[in-house]
A and B are shown apart, each in its own frame.
Chain A
């Protein structure tokens, strides 16, 4: 499996539809970024209808992770390097609070 499953992550939600996961991230997190399907974070290509929303608060990254048999998980991983990389490369779409 991908790199993400080998990392230390928290599951914030599971079994939600992809559109709901996007809506949740965009309404909840201080910084919201958009990436397109297939863009890698933590070394794995993210899956989902474009755009894929990623939330960042400090070093905490929140993103949807889709598994074919289990649907969409909302995962969070704390990683300052990846947070910086996303801030530098992804499309910033605003602070939603």
Chain B
């Protein structure tokens, strides 16, 4: 019997608009690929997701960052893929924590926001990086994500 593939999306502070768009976009594509998608974030992130996707079409399973970490460290939760979003120093700290806890899986850090190029060199852990100074316009960074994930690049 095949076990369901699991993907973890780790969202940072939601103040930069492209994060929510990219998270919903990733949830849509990961779901299409058969992943069980779990999304971790702070309470504001949870409210934004529940407002943007009230029926849970794209991001159905939500958890707090603290519970997500406890599920891994205390309940042995495991994942096949983690996509971590970072647009500030705290985002890098959360991503580094998740990488430490999930050392053997495919790990992608999406570094975005106005300071993306200054932040990216602070990443000291292994994994793929998508770096783009993206704030309001999600298209360039979405294209990079599509390329990295093989989701087919659209022209729009």
User: What residues of chain A have their CB less than 8 Å away from a CB belonging to chain B?
Assistant: 1-2, 17-19, 36-38, 44-45, 47-50, 66-72
Contact = CB atoms under 8 A, between A and B. Distances in A.
B66 interface: yes
A67 B100 contact: no
Contacts of B90: 18, 47, 66-72
A40 B105 CA distance: 23
B89 A38 contact: no
Interface in B70-91: 70, 72-73, 88-91
B12 A45 contact: no
Contacts of A67: 42, 90
A69 to B, nearest CB: 4
A46 B101 CA distance: 12
B94 A47 contact: yes
Interface of B: 12-15, 41-42, 44-45, 65-66, 69-70, 72-73, 88-94, 96-97, 100-101, 122, 124-125
Contacts of A68: 12-13, 41-42, 45, 65, 90-91, 94
B89 A71 contact: yes
Contacts of B96: 37, 48-50
B93 A38 contact: no
Nearest to A44: B66
Given A38-B101, A68-B42, A45 B93 contact: no
B66 A37 contact: no
Contacts of B101: 37-38
Contacts of A71: 88-90
Given A47-B90, A47-B94, A49-B97, 8 more contacts: A18-B90, A37-B100, A38-B97, A48-B97, A68-B90, A68-B94, A69-B14, A70-B90
A31 to B, nearest CB: 23
